């Protein structure tokens, strides 16, 4: 459970870094840059200190990367201009957890207790209260129904990506590998990131061939000078530390428990954004955050 909390923290820090990197170098370069940085750093770690490509779970983690960091991320980026950031995050985070929990139950036979399900739902409720758009704070884009389909794709990508990762863990355990440590988590993260990077490169080349690449807005001179610093921070916080802790958590904990905690990422991003950018949170954010934190404490207690 501790690794899941760490993952949520690093993902929240990554959100701010990602915003700055996209402003500075554009969405396509920022995404490719963060994945490339992560693939190099995690690859060095995996091949020098881990098992490299020698794990029995390799194929499962590569598939998980294609589903979660490939198709899932495409769903997120497609939904953002149609739903806005908060609705997109709400759909992705709050639907991914039950999708993964149900999938793991049917496929791997992992059953959660009634209390675990209850407190997981409390966490998701708190997240929903905190980030749900309202009349006082409406979405900044015109909502289009097709966006909900892309939001579902994003949620399924994250949920099924976690599920396939859990299947990879069972394959590694069956082969006698030690999975309950950070080294295995970082190696699994490397496999997922590598598959996601290849998927994104192929998708980028397809869009470039079709001349459908979106134009990036011009960056301010100060942001452009610091752009690759933000890309480096984005890669370290999200794909390296965040995904590494996320895979470490999935190695020892059912996805139906890990994903509700990971869903608190937008709540953890609120104080970070306030600290780094002066973005003051609303009263409703505090209420939803308190509910989610209470749910996390209770979920850890019944773990």
pLDDT tens digits for range 4-51: 888 888 888 877 777 777 777 776 777 888 889 999 999 999 999 888
Question: How confident is the model at residue 47, as a pLDDT?
Answer: 93
d(CA 287, CA 205): 45
Share the mean pLDDT of the chain.
84
pLDDT over threshold 90, residue 75: no
pLDDT over threshold 60, residue 147: yes
d(CA 10, CA 272): 11
Contact 87, 143 (CB under 8 A): yes
pLDDT tens digits for range 241-262: 988 898 889 888 888 889 999 8
d(CA 108, CA 42): 28
pLDDT (average), residues 136-154: 82
Question: How confident is the model at residue 43, as a pLDDT?
Answer: 94
pLDDT over threshold 60, residue 277: no
Of 191, 151, 157, 199, nearest to 172 (Cα)?
191
Query: pLDDT band for position 159 (50/70/90)?
Result: very high
pLDDT over threshold 80, residue 60: yes
Q: What angle do CA 118, 120, 125 make, to 5 degrees?
A: 95
Give me the DSSP letters along the chain. Answer: -HHHHHHHHHHHHHHHHHHHHHHHH-HHHHHHHHHHHHHHHHHHHHHHTS-TT--TTHHHHHHHHIIIIIIIHHHHHHHHHHH-HHHHHHHHHHHHHHHHHHHHHHHH-----HHHHHHHHHHHHHHHHHH---SSS--SS---THHHHHHHHHHHHHHHHHHHHHHHHHHHHHTT---SSHHHHHHHHHHHHHHHHHHHHHHHHHHHHTT-PPPPPPPPHHHHHTHHHHHHHHHIIIIIIIHHHHHHHHHHS-HHHHHHHHTTHHHHHHHHHHHHH--PPPHHHHHHHHHHHHHHHHHHHH-
Question: How confident is the model at residue 122, as a pLDDT?
Answer: 92
CA distances to 34, 67, 99 from 58, in Å: 22, 14, 23
Question: How confident is the model at residue 215, as a pLDDT?
Answer: 65
pLDDT (average), residues 124-130: 87
pLDDT tens digits for range 173-214: 999 988 888 888 899 999 999 999 999 899 888 887 877 766
Contact 161, 68 (CB under 8 A): yes
Buried/exposed code over 270-301 (b: 16+ C-beta within 10 A; e: otherwise)? bebbeeeeeeebeeebeebbebbeebbebbee
d(CA 4, CA 263): 10
Q: Pull the structure tokens for residue 220.
A: 């301010």
pLDDT over threshold 60, residue 138: yes
Q: Pull the structure tokens for residue 14.
A: 């990554």
Contact 263, 93 (CB under 8 A): yes
* pTM, entire model: 0.86
With tokens 């500075």, the residue in question is: 24
């Amino acid at each position: 459970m501790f690794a899941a909390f760490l993952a949520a923290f690093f993902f929240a820090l990554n959100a701010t870094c990602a915003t700055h990197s996209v402003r500075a170098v554009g969405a396509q370069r920022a995404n490719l840059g963060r994945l490339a940085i992560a693939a190099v750093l995690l690859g060095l770690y995996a091949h020098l200190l881990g098992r490299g490509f020698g794990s029995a779970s390799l194929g499962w983690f590569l598939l998980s990367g294609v589903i979660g960091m490939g198709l899932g991320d495409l769903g997120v980026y497609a939904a953002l201009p149609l739903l806005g950031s908060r609705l997109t995050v709400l759909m992705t985070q709050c639907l991914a957890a039950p999708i993964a929990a149900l999938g793991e139950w049917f496929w791997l036979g992992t059953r959660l207790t009634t209390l675990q399900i209850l407190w997981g739902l409390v966490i998701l409720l708190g997240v929903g209260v905190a980030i749900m758009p309202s009349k006082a704070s409406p979405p900044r884009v015109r909502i289009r129904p097709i966006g909900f389909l892309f939001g579902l794709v994003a949620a399924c990508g994250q949920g099924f990506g976690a599920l396939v990762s859990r299947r990879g863990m069972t394959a590694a355990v069956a082969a006698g590998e030690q999975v309950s440590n950070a080294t295995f988590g970082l190696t699994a993260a490397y496999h997922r990131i590598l598959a996601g990077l290849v998927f994104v490169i192929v998708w980028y080349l397809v869009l470039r061939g079709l001349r459908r690449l979106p134009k990036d807005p011009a960056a301010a001179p100060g942001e452009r000078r610091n752009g690759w610093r933000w890309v480096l921070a984005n890669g370290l916080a999200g794909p390296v530390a965040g995904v590494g802790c996320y895979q470490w958590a999935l190695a020892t904990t059912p996805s139906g428990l890990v994903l509700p905690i990971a869903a608190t990422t937008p709540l953890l991003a609120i104080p970070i954004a306030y600290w780094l950018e002066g973005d003051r949170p609303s009263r409703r954010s505090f209420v939803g955050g308190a509910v989610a934190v209470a749910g996390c404490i209770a979920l850890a207690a019944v773990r």
